[in-house]
């Protein structure tokens, strides 16, 4: 599979999608704080890193499947919110497919 030409990447869209991922991550963390969890800077940073990774996967999916900007933005925000849960679900699906249990 050839890589797309990096000169044709809309970097504004990529930065915007990562910004929506960050907002989703912060919203998720604030939700946990509102439900009684204690604020911990390390946990917040871990949440941001994990959500950034899930947002990067969304950017790759959006590019590959030529998603509309609005759809990609919404999914990036949800990826930021779900963070590790999304990554774990994708991992389980990949493992099932690799084992031939699709």
User: Which pLDDT tens digit goes with each residue over 73-102?
Assistant: 899 889 889 888 888 988 999 899 898 876
Assigned domain for 6 exists? no
Assigned domain for 16 exists? yes
User: Is the model more confident about 63 or about 6?
Assistant: 63
- Structural domain count of the chain: 1
Looking at the predicted structure, is the pLDDT value of residue 3 above 70? no
pTM above 0.75, yes or no: yes
Cα three-residue angle 60-62-65, rounded to 5 degrees = 105
For residue 31, the enclosing domain spans 11-99
Mean pLDDT in residue range 60-71:
87
Assigned domain for 52 exists? yes
Assigned domain for 35 exists? yes
Mean pLDDT in residue range 4-21:
81
Assigned domain for 67 exists? yes
CA 18 to CA 14: how far, in whole Å? Answer: 6
- Burial classification of residue 74, based on how many CB atoms lie within 10 Å of its CB (0-12 exposed, 13-18 middle, 19 or more buried): middle
Assigned domain for 3 exists? no
Assigned domain for 4 exists? no
């Amino acid at each position: 599979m050839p890589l797309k030409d990096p000169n044709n990447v809309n970097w504004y869209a990529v930065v915007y999608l990562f910004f929506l991922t960050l907002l989703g991550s912060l919203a998720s963390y604030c939700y946990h704080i509102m439900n009684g969890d204690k604020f911990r800077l390390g946990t917040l940073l871990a949440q941001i890193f994990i959500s950034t990774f899930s947002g990067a996967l969304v950017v790759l999916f959006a590019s590959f499947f030529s998603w509309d900007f609005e759809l990609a933005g919404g999914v990036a925000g949800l990826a930021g919110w779900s963070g590790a849960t999304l990554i774990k679900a994708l991992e389980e699906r990949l493992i099932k497919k690799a084992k031939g249990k699709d």
